Chains A and B, each alone.
Chain A
Amino acid sequence: MTESAANNGLSCWHRLSPWAVLFLLLQGSLRFARDNLPLVLGAGAGVAFLEQIGPREVAIGGVFLALLAAVLSLRYYQRFRFRLDADVLVVQKGLFERTELKVGAERVQHMAIDEPVYMRPFDVVRFSVDTPGGKGTEVELPGIARNVAEALRERLGRQQVAAADATEASPAVATEEVVFRASARGLTLHGIASNYLFVYLAAAVPFLQVAERLGREHWQAVEGFLPLGWVVERPVMAATLAVSVLVSAVVLLSLTLVWWRFYGFTLVQYRDRFTQTSGLLNRQHQVLTLSKLQSVEWVQTPVGRLLRRGFLVCKQYGGVSEQEERAGGSFLVPALGLEAGRALSRRFWSALAPESALSTVHPYYRRAMAVRFGLAIAACAGLLALVTGAGAWWWLALAAPFVAMLFGHLRWRAVAWCYQGGFVQVRRGLLGRRTAMFPAANAQAVTITQSWFQRRRGLVSLHLSVASGPVSIPFIPAADGYRIANEVLYRVEKDEAIAGATGMPTDSKRA
């Protein structure tokens, strides 16, 4: 079936590809294994339970579960159908409960086509659509023919391009243009700089428990394999070697995952629409419409700052956690150098001057942070000392002021802000940096807070709610805080008043 034929046939009901049954089964099994892995490996309760009931019973249980999953997947496939009614995607699904979902093309803020490696031989892909109201993926078609998915993307995206053409702010890129392509060096540096190194280290902790148990059980074999005598003689060198091996393994894992996720990353712009394609085995196509873009974040991890690397996160309606960001939950552009990051930000909003002349907040913020953090440490340490009776906790309580001062200083140095040309930029962090950038007219609400301490010193904290999440500028002079608040409100209310008068729907109201 050609794409145009698929395009024309979209108004009829379609079923998922028959291969989707297999994929649903596989996907469900992987999800089950992933969700229960910490229980089995982490606390050890799962392992103990499995040992208790015996391997034959475990195998029978496994076969029964697999059969049940196969039947449920088949039933899900039978009840799943979709079609395009004019510009509305209609999906009917549900195992025990019939659900009908309708998503209008004008409400689509994000579309993605995934091609996992096991789907590729069958030319089947996974198609998903997000809307501004949804916290996660609103509609997912878990296994459809590639040409149908591309036709769907084309039809749903056409409405957005037409809306962008109606606004004068849309950039004049009339033909497809490759905006950014991640190089091998860039991806490698991105992997080294990734914050996920620490997450991997934390995830490795449960495995240590299992390794220790296995080591105790097979002590003789371990003794023959490792030069334990040498380890006892040179403990410092052995510990250094062990840490080096562990760090190298984690870096290697991080690199593998970055290459897996972002291999061949290409960002293409066509009018108001940015499309990114990436993935080594699991090819992913994500679409971002500029009119739905709420804010952009320039992120640098501590290692990334040393390497002068970072990545951009393009945020639309609805907040996404930092874990979801990296897992593909938002539109992320990796492997950027400082200049490339700035240039790309300017491509989203040409009047934006990224990270230009950021001002630090008042030094009282440093003191406030140190006091809060110091009190929290001292209280925890004091409580632990009283409960456990161990004197070591009192030493921690005594050290709290020094740790708190360092924390306060690092926090204060990280926080900076700028309001220029109608754009707000706010940087935060501790050792790493995250700079949020957005047009003032994208603000949803403005809050000004002033504690008794701030009142005495003529300071305020300004909180701007953006549809992608809140942004705060703490401890700035009251005059500046009120000036920005008044101007942000003016821009929001004036823009919308003009749009209302001309009958032109603005994006915030379309949401």
Chain B
Amino acid sequence: MGFTNKPIEQASLPAVETLALAPVSPRFAPYQVLSALAQWLPLVVLLWLFIPFGMLLPWVPGVLAMLAMIGLPLLAALAWIEAKRREFGLREHDVVYRSGILVRRTTILPLVRIQHVETVSGPLERLFDLLRVRCFTAGGASADLVVRGLRQEEAEQVRQYLLGRIREQEPASAGGAND
């Protein structure tokens, strides 16, 4: 068979831009709010413990308190909205994940490129029954796609599905996929 390079009919290709994705678990929003606030907690504690407020100008503690009163609810609201806008989808040949408020990021990872899949959860995530699915491809040191906000059961199903598809794609001579 000789080398061919036929043009591709653009209209016939599946379109990423019109793809309808499913939102992640509703439990992800409260987790994300707590997670965002917890990141600032050490700084607040350090400020409280180590800054001798008597040495500061009299208006500084008030300003800091006001900043905290405005900033923390704003942070929580942004985390909530961001979590609500996360979407996830599995297609026949790839995984799609969308996130972000100001900058919307859509990542599409072809199933045939996945070399390794793992599920991870922190203590706070376990409290909300959530699990992260991390997909690795060849050549990368870190995960190429991290799907956050899936319920444990759902994440396990996704992992099993991905591993099954990887095994299907493996040539008969090669070994099985890692998990």
Contact = CB atoms under 8 A, between A and B. Distances in A.
Interface string A453-489: 0010000000001111100000000100011011101
B72 interface: no
Interface string B92-133: 011000001011111111111101000000000000000000
A483 B137 contact: no
Contacts of A448: 16, 105-106
A497 B92 CA distance: 11
Contacts of A319: 139
B13 A465 contact: no
Most buried by B among A445, A468, A482, A503: A445
A159 interface: no
B103 A449 contact: yes
A222 interface: no
Interface string B70-101: 00000000000000000000000110000010
A489 B94 CA distance: 9
B170 A445 contact: no
B160 interface: no
Contact of A492 (B13, B102, B112): B112
Contact of B105 (A351, A449, A509): A449
Contacts of B108: 445-447, 485, 489
Contacts of A455: 104
Nearest to A351: B5
Contacts of B13: 486-487, 490
A500 B168 contact: yes
B166 to A, nearest CB: 9
Contacts of B168: 500
Contacts of B109: 444-445
A78 interface: no
A444 B174 contact: no
Contacts of B69: none
A447 B139 contact: no
A317 B138 contact: yes
Given A317-B139, A445-B110, A482-B16, A168 B3 contact: yes
B15 A446 contact: no
A444 B107 contact: no
Interface string B137-164: 1111100110000000000000000000
A285 to B, nearest CB: 24
A493 B171 contact: no
B10 interface: yes
A510 interface: yes
B112 A447 contact: no
Given A294-B139, A504-B171, A492 B113 contact: yes
A490 B8 contact: yes
A505 interface: yes
A185 B103 CA distance: 49
Contacts of A482: 15-17
Given A422-B5, A503-B172, A467 B138 contact: yes
A422 B145 CA distance: 25
A451 B168 CA distance: 38
A314 to B, nearest CB: 14
Contact of A496 (B1, B103, B169, B173): B169
Contacts of B54: none
Given A449-B103, A500-B169, A510 B174 contact: yes
Contacts of A508: 112-113, 138
A247 interface: no
Contacts of A318: 139
B14 interface: yes
Interface string A213-231: 0000000000000000000
Contacts of A497: 93, 112
Nearest to B173: A505
A465 B144 contact: yes
Contacts of A511: 115, 138-139
Nearest to A132: B138
Contacts of A421: 5
Contacts of B112: 492-493, 496-497, 500, 508-509
B137 A465 contact: yes
A448 B112 CA distance: 20
Given A168-B1, A450-B103, A482-B16, A444 B139 contact: yes
Given A465-B137, A496-B169, A509-B170, A451 B103 contact: yes
A417 B173 CA distance: 39
Interface in A305-349: 317-319
A101 interface: no
A132 B139 contact: yes
B5 A445 contact: no
A44 to B, nearest CB: 35
Contact of A486 (B14, B93, B141, B169): B14
A446 B107 contact: yes
Those 4 A-B pairs whose CB atoms lie nearest each other, nearest first: A467-B139, A496-B112, A511-B138, A493-B93
Given A467-B139, A493-B111, A497-B93, 11 more contacts: A317-B139, A318-B139, A445-B108, A446-B108, A448-B106, A451-B104, A452-B103, A487-B13, A489-B16, A497-B112, A500-B112
Interface of A: 132-133, 135, 168-169, 294, 317-319, 351, 421-422, 444-452, 455, 465-469, 478, 482-483, 485-487, 489-490, 492-493, 496-497, 499-500, 503-505, 508-511
21 contacts: A132-B138, A168-B3, A421-B5, A444-B138, A444-B139, A445-B113, A445-B144, A445-B145, A446-B107, A447-B105, A448-B105, A449-B105, A450-B103, A451-B102, A455-B104, A465-B137, A493-B93, A493-B111, A503-B171, A504-B171, A511-B115
